Amino acid sequence: MQRLKIDQDIKPLSEVRTGIANFIKQVHDTKRPVIITQHGKSVAVLLDAYEYEAIQEKLELLTDIQASLNQLENGQGIAHKDAKEKVLKRINK
């Protein structure tokens, strides 16, 4: 995802309502989100579907990494050699 450009990517809801097709095209072409405001406060984000999916995948990976680090800190990890043996046993079944 590209970095937000404040002067181009923050729009009031009233403007988005009247030109939604243009904003969808902008999000698709620039790969930048559009922040939608209402009464001067941000209320929603318009994001390209593929960019959203990429964010979700990264979040899942980071969550898995954090869970693994927590397990290691709690002494729940296993040695590389032992892990390799378990994997090879499963493959050779």
pTM of the model: 0.67
Quote the CA–CA distance of 12 and 5 in Å, as a whole number. Answer: 15
Tens digit of each residue's pLDDT (9 = 90 or more) over 52-63: 999 999 999 999
Tens digit of each residue's pLDDT (9 = 90 or more) over 72-85: 999 998 889 999 99
The residues near 13 (Cβ < 8 Å, ≥ 6 apart) are 36, 37, 38, 43
Which contiguous run of DSSP H or E holds residue 82? helix 80-91
And the tokens for 30? 């620039």
Quote the CA–CA distance of 74 and 33 in Å, as a whole number. Answer: 39
Tens digit of each residue's pLDDT (9 = 90 or more) over 25-34: 999 999 999 9
What's the pLDDT score for residue 7? 76
Torsion of CA 19, 37, 54, 87, to 10 degrees: -150
Q: What's phi and psi for 33, nearest 5 deg?
A: -75, 160
